[in-house]
Amino acid sequence: MTVAVIMGSPSDRAKMQDALDILAEFEIACESAVLSAHRSPEIVAEFVKSAPDRGIRIFICGAGMAAHLAGSVAGLTWLPVIGVPLSGSPLGGSDSLFSTVQMPKGVPVATVAIDGAYNAGLLAIQMLALSDAGLTQKLREFKQRQVVTIHEANNRFQNS
């Protein structure tokens, strides 16, 4: 396993699926789990501390409301942590955004957009590609496909 995708509740699963999908597209081995900074803090600590022995190199943590999962994980590991603030609360995700992004000096969480699980997965792939030439090539092709897609969309737009 290379990337751990964890979320605070089973209710987060659909929003975190995009991260699992893009990681699968790039054939990155993942493990995923429901772990709560508030409801199961000791299990979070065990999971994070044992992660390097399982080959985990990056954490992706998604949570909503008072979203402390990513920060809690970051406090327990030297591995990079990507935080995904999730919507769904009465505050629309701004609560989880602030809770995830406003980390104190010394404990970074690379925070993506609200419900930005896709980009979280992609960022993890980009980190892994720094030491993986095959993955770098796949990313180059991915970026090139985006160029072609938007270029073709512009052509259709200009001709409509």
Query: Could you list the residues that contact ligand RP5 (CB under 6 A)?
Result: 8-9, 11-12, 36, 63-65, 86, 88
Choice between 63 and 110, CB closer to ligand RP5: 63
Considering the complex, what minimum distance in angstroms separates the CB of residue 20 from ligand RP5?
16
Choice between 86 and 120, CB closer to ligand RP5: 86
* Long-range contacts from 90-98, C-beta under 8 angstroms, 24+ separation: 93/64, 95/64, 95/65, 95/66, 95/67, 96/63, 96/64, 96/65, 96/66, 96/67
* Rounded CA separation 49/16 (Å): 22
Considering the complex, what minimum distance in angstroms separates the CB of residue 34 from ligand RP5?
9
Considering the complex, what minimum distance in angstroms separates the CB of residue 76 from ligand RP5?
17
The helix/strand/coil state of 64 is strand
In this structure, what token pair is assigned to residue 36?
């709560």
Choice between 90 and 106, CB closer to ligand RP5: 90
Considering the complex, what minimum distance in angstroms separates the CB of residue 109 from ligand RP5?
15
